[in-house]
């Protein structure tokens, strides 16, 4: 459903009126297109104190951006990366202020700020305090920066090579992360897998996407196909026509199958005889009622589709070796699973369960199978599901985030595609909120 308010604030009279009334000023977001695939302009590389990660400058080679450490630029920076990995004390935090305070106003609209930190140490509470402080800093700056710009914290562990961070920085420093802000991503030290063709980084990989007939799942299938994957699009047999239309459009294979079927994993494995490189658990349902009014079947169906079938098929496919080494599993959580939501005890429980799943399984799946496990947690995304929400609740959902607008299915899909990159081996057990920094939840 069109966001008429966003359209209104894009006109001069609309902007004037809404400013006078003190209403939100959403900036149109620059998303990936074939014509404008990159941010363009200077990338200002700053350091707070001494860097604790060797060679991080090399990982900043994002296409379209020219790295410089000179703050006195003629052109506004399109992005600023602050290396704060060496900040280990409360006093050291002063270097963060000293580095960013003079330049933050010069960031171009739709710009990016990425703060590089490291993992708070269990053995050094001064370092832990300073590194944890960066989280509060980034989340606050995300709320005040405005003009469609975003701010993130990437934690690079001591001992990681800078190339472990490269795919993450490329994603965050690109139009693909337009609706991601205020996020903390903690990397492992794992080295990236090689990419043969940067224009088609997923070439040679088979990706299965559940719930792919429409909405977010169809967008995920489309972006994975754009990036070179051979896609199998799965949805319930009742959605066969829509599924086949989507699959035909993308050159994908349609697999009409209810993911809760007892033989679902076997049928998925049979559909990908050479193994799956990417498994995206996207299918999801809501059956809202307050707990006091919720019959057991509404509870059970939501937990079955959103969580239990994800656990079961993941276990069975991993056990059967149907997910290839270097493989990627991406599940779909929700802001509701972080913040909770009236009438959604079943849905929020199932989505919080997804978060538990990826955090626990990620490290073990990497050790045992060479597979990463991550989740996206969408906020308010413009789909048929949210178009059905009553007007005032929908408007509140759209505006209650730092970017003052709803996201698009493609925003979630771009995050899934980043998790799926061969270069993202160091991204594991993470939950990325794609929510424009929603005011709800952590």
Q: What is the DSSP letter of 426?
A: T
Query: Quick one: which of 51, 168, 332, 344 contacts ligand NAD (CB under 6 A)?
Result: 332
5 belongs to the catalytic site: no
Cα(398)–Cα(5) distance, integer angstroms: 10
With CB under 6 A as the contact rule, the residue among 324, 383, 402, 425 that binds ligand NAD is 383
Between CA 312 and CA 12 the distance in angstroms is: 53
Residues 12-71 within binding reach of ligand NAD (CB under 6 A): none
Nearest Cα to 330, choosing from 434, 415, 426? 415
Provide the minimum distance between the beta carbon of 332 and ligand NAD in the complex, in angstroms, as a whole number.
4
Taking alpha carbons only, the member of 267, 358, 266 closest to residue 307 is 358
Residues 215-234 within binding reach of ligand NAD (CB under 6 A): 215-217
Residue tagged active-site, from 5, 32, 137, 347: 347
- How far is it, in rounded angstroms, from Cα 281 to Cα 311? 10
CA distance 208 to 394: 31
- Please identify which residue in 83, 186, 235, 414 interacts with ligand NAD, judged by CB under 6 A: 235
Q: How far is the CB of 219 from ligand NAD (least distance, A)?
A: 8
Among 386, 404, 437, 438, binds ligand NAD (CB under 6 A): 386
The residue from 32, 171, 299, 380 that contacts ligand NAD (CB under 6 A) is 380
Contact 438, 380 (CB under 8 A): yes
Q: How far is the CB of 128 from ligand NAD (least distance, A)?
A: 32
Judged on CB neighbours under 10 Å (0-12, 13-18, 19+), 266 is: middle
By CB under 6 A, name the one of 210, 230, 372, 405 that touches ligand NAD: 210
- Using CB under 6 A as the binding rule, the residues of this chain from 247 to 286 that contact ligand NAD are 258-260, 282-285
Among candidate residues 146, 213, 200, 256, the one with its CA nearest the CA of residue 409: 213
179 touching ligand NAD, by CB under 6 A: no
Q: Which residues ranging from 304 to 323 are in contact with ligand NAD (CB under 6 A)?
A: 305
HSE value, Cβ hemisphere, 13 Å, CA-based, for 307: 22
Q: How many residues bind ligand NAD (CB under 6 A)?
A: 27
Question: Coil, strand, or helix at residue 2?
Answer: coil
Catalytic residues: 347
Residues that bind ligand NAD (CB under 6 A): 210-211, 213-217, 235-236, 239, 258-260, 282-285, 305, 332, 334, 378, 380-381, 383-386
């Amino acid at each position: 459903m069109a966001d008429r308010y966003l359209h209104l604030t894009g006109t001069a009279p609309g902007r004037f009126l809404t400013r006078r009334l003190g209403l939100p000023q959403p900036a149109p977001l620059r998303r990936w297109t074939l014509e404008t695939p990159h941010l363009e302009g200077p990338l200002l590389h700053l350091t707070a104190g001494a860097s604790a990660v060797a060679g991080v400058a090399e990982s900043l080679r994002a296409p379209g951006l020219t790295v410089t450490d000179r703050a006195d630029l003629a052109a506004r920076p399109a992005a600023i990366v602050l290396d704060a990995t060496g900040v280990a004390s409360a006093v050291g935090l002063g270097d963060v202020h000293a580095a960013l305070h003079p330049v933050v106003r010069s960031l171009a609209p739709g710009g990016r700020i990425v703060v590089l930190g490291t993992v708070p140490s269990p053995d050094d509470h001064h370092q832990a305090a300073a590194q944890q402080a960066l989280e509060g800093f980034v989340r606050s700056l995300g709320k005040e920066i405005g003009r469609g710009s975003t701010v993130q914290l990437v934690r690079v562990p001591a001992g990681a090579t800078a190339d472990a961070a490269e795919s993450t920085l490329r994603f965050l420093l690109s139009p693909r992360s337009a609706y991601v802000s205020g996020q903390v991503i903690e990397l492992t030290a794992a080295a990236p897998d090689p990419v043969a063709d940067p224009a088609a980084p997923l070439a040679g990989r088979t990706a299965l996407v559940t719930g792919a007939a429409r909405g977010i799942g169809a967008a995920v299938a489309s972006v994975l196909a754009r990036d070179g994957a051979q896609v199998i699009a799965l949805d319930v047999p009742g959605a066969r026509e829509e599924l086949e239309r989507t699959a035909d459009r993308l050159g994908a294979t349609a697999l009409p199958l209810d993911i809760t079927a007892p033989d679902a994993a076997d049928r998925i494995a049979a559909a990908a005889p050479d193994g799956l490189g990417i498994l995206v658990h996207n299918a999801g349902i809501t059956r809202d009622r307050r707990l006091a009014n919720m019959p057991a079947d509404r509870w059970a169906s939501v937990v079955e589709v959103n969580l239990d079938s994800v656990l079961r098929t993941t276990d069975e496919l991993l056990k059967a070796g149907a997910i290839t080494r270097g493989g990627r599993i991406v599940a779909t959580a929700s802001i509701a699973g972080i913040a909770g939501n009236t009438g959604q005890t079943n849905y929020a429980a199932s989505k919080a369960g997804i978060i538990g799943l990826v955090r626990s399984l990620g490290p073990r799946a990497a050790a045992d199978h060479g597979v990463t496990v991550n989740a996206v947690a969408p906020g308010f995304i413009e789909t048929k599901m949210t178009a059905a929400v009553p007007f005032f609740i929908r408007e509140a959902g759209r505006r209650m985030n730092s970017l003052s607008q709803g996201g698009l299915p493609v925003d979630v899909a771009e995050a899934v595609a980043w998790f799926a990159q061969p270069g993202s081996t160091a991204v594991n057990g993470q939950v990325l909120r794609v929510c424009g920094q929603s005011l709800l939840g952590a």
